[in-house]
Amino acid sequence: MSAALKIENLHAGYGKLPILNGVNLSVEAESITALIGPNGAGKSTVLKAVFGLTGWRKGRISFEGEELSRLPTHEIIRHGVCFVHQGRNIFPTLSVQENLELGAYIRANEASLVSDLERVYELFPALKKKRLDTAKSLSGGQQQMLGLGRALMLHPKMLLLDEPSLGLAPKILREIFEKIGYINELGTTILLVEQNVQEALEYSDKVFILREGRVEFEGTPKEVLASDVLKKAYLGR
Amino acid sequence: MWSEFFAVLPQLLMNGLIAGGIYSLIAIGYTMIYGILRFINFAYGEIAMVGAYAAYTAIVWLHWPLWAGVLAALAVCSLLGVAIDFVAYKPLRKANRLSSLITAIAVSLLLQNLVALFYGNEIKTFREGPVEQGMNFFGAFITPTQVTIIATAFLLMAGLYWFVAKTKLGKAIRATADDMELAKVVGIDSEKVIRTTFALGSGLAAAAGVLIALEQNIEPTMGVMPGIKAFTAAVVGGIGSIQGAMLGGMLIGLVENIGIWFLPSGYKDAIAFVVLIFFLMFKPKGLLGGKLEEDVRK
């Protein structure tokens, strides 16, 4: 397997204070890679930096060999990478169907729009029933599904997911993770940021532990569990 | 008093509809730009004025027919709106929103004075021919020009509504107003959306300016009052909401023209502002619950 996304010596932040202090990580193609770590470690900032959503960034970010770090946000998606935000990942006043259609905004050819919509509705049947409702009327879990479904409209090569479990009840959380596993089996590379360590270890192939803006550990979930690195990262030394 | 009032009510309603259509057209620009950039582009009243002068130039100086003059005004003002954004507002995208607001007021003064410099301060008109005969319409007298004003305003609003609801670019505009960061993430070029929105809002304001000029004289300060009243309409309708702007414009036009029956005519301009104060005190979200309240809370 080869690296799909490669991040080298990434420094980024919003104001003067840096949040990332030289992050190095690479995500194998078609894997599920989890980025975990304590609050404030800069996990979400890594994903935002890939999409140019931080105030500033320095370092190299390449996807399948192409440099992304100089592109404006709206062009990143053209390289086949989609991002699902934490929390607010929908257009609240637009209908569910319009939200999904906008997932395919960059595609000029609208011929496959109907079949792509059907594919997403098959994966998330709850969305089909509500397709004409405004997105803000959906429940938290349904909004999370809508964000995922929107990102799938383009058949992305890679998905960046920022805390897909945030604020969800355990049952819905499992459902979301199962869908993520299924999406991955179909060939989409996934990098997810998780606060929920247990689920992250269960579903991922590889784990990066971030602390104070640096990668402190990388390895398989088994290696994480076998070491005391989690305790160190979360509870301090 | 009341029997007299009801006798003249159809006429008051008709006058209200004419004024309201004009306010609505300008208010749409305010509300759309506020929806995306969260600032009030106070220059729309002056863009309407420039629209009237552009039509005047085409019709009186170049002897173009009326419809060509209207199209010229739309084209000139759409470009003007985009140019104003590029020169005055775009450098301030990341600055405090108050900076953009103050800049908008400066742009208004600049446009007024540039037009005064070029065309002079004296009033002009491009109406010609004898005074039109009014037709009786359910007890109200309405001239063919007034029919044109109402029809044009409603057609343009319907067209805009269709554009924003159904077209891909229209959906991109709504998406950007909902969440600009997310819109960029799905691949929407927000600067293109902003340019489009300025062009649309300015085009509608230009149309309003020409419609005003069909009935009234034109002068460099003609855009001030309609501009402020359209702002009032946008707030009353719920700023950020396009339907709200249309509704708010109609409401202000109707309240103003009906209220004037009960008050000395000098108070006409005050009515809109009383309505504004009333809404700010008791229903700050406006009729259709726009974005003002959530912004105040931030």
HEC letters along chain A: CCEEEEEEEEEEECCCCEEEEEEEEEEECCCEEEEECCCCCCHHHHHHHHCCCCCEEEEEEEECCEECCCCCHHHHHHHCEEEECCCCCCCCCCEHHHHHHHHCCCCCCCCCHHHHHHHHHHHCHHHHHCCCCEHHHCCHHHHHHHHHHHHHCCCCCEEEEECCCCCCCHHHHHHHHHHHHHHHHCCCEEEEECCCHHHHHHHCCEEEEEECCEEEEEECHHHHHHCCHHHHHHHCC
pLDDT of residue B290: 66
| pLDDT at residue B297 greater than cutoff 60 | no
Is A58 exposed, middle or buried, given 0-12, 13-18 or 19+ CB atoms closer than 10 A? middle
pLDDT tens figures, A144-200: 999 999 999 999 999 999 998 888 888 888 889 999 999 999 999 999 999 888 889
User: Would you state the pLDDT for residue A237?
Assistant: 58
Which residues does residue A81 pair with via DSSP β-bridges, in sequence order? A158
pLDDT at A214: 93
Question: Helix B144-166 to helix B2-37 angle, to the nearest 10 degrees?
Answer: 30
Strand boundaries in chain B, DSSP class E: 135-137, 140-142
Digit-coded pLDDT (tens) for A15-37: 888 999 999 999 999 999 999 99
Q: What is the pLDDT of residues A187-235, one digit of tens each?
A: 999 999 998 888 899 999 999 999 999 999 999 999 998 888 888 888 7
What percent of chain B has a predicted confidence (pLDDT) above 90? 84
- Residues near A124 by Cβ (< 8 Å), separated by ≥ 6? A145, A146, A148, A149, A179
CB contact under 8 A, A105 and B181: no
Confidence class for position B295, pLDDT limits 50, 70, 90: low
pLDDT average, residue stretch A82-103: 93
Please tell me the least confidently modeled range out of A53-67, A126-140, B121-135, B217-231. B121-135
Q: What are phi and psi of A30, to 5 degrees?
A: 65, 20
DSSP codes of every residue in B186-235? TT--HHHHHHHHHHHHHHHHHHHHHHHHHHS-B-TTTTHHHHHHHHHHHH
Closest chain B residue to A75, measured at CA: B187
d(CA B46, CA A129): 47
Query: What is the Cα–Cα distance from B228 to B230, expressed in whole angstroms?
Result: 5
Split at pLDDT 50, 70, 90, the class of B298 is: very low
pLDDT of A8 over the 50 cut: yes
pLDDT tens sequence across B174-222:
999 999 999 999 999 999 999 999 999 999 999 999 999 999 999 999 9
CA distance B172 to chain A (A): 8
Structural domains of chain A, with CATH: 1-80+156-237 (3.40.50.300), 83-155 (no CATH)
Identify the weakest region by mean pLDDT among A212-226, B27-41, B122-136, B260-274. Answer: B122-136
Instruction: Provide the CA B18 distance to its chain's centre, in angstroms.
Output: 13
pLDDT score of B254: 97
Q: What is the CATH number of domain B2-297?
A: 1.10.3470
Cβ pair A91:B184 closer than 8 A: no
With a threshold of 0.90, tell me whether the complex ipTM lies above it: yes
B45-79 pLDDT per residue, tens: 999 999 999 999 999 999 999 899 999 999 999 99
Query: Most confidently modeled of A12-21, B106-115, B124-133?
Result: B106-115
A93 to chain B, closest Cα gap in Å: 7
Residues in chain B with CB shorter than 8 Å from the CB of A51 are 184-185
**Cβ–Cβ gap B190/A77 under 8 Å:** no
Enumerate the residues of chain B whose CB falls inside 8 A of the CB of residue A101.
Answer: 171
Give the separation between CA B118 and CA B57, rounded to whole angstroms.
11
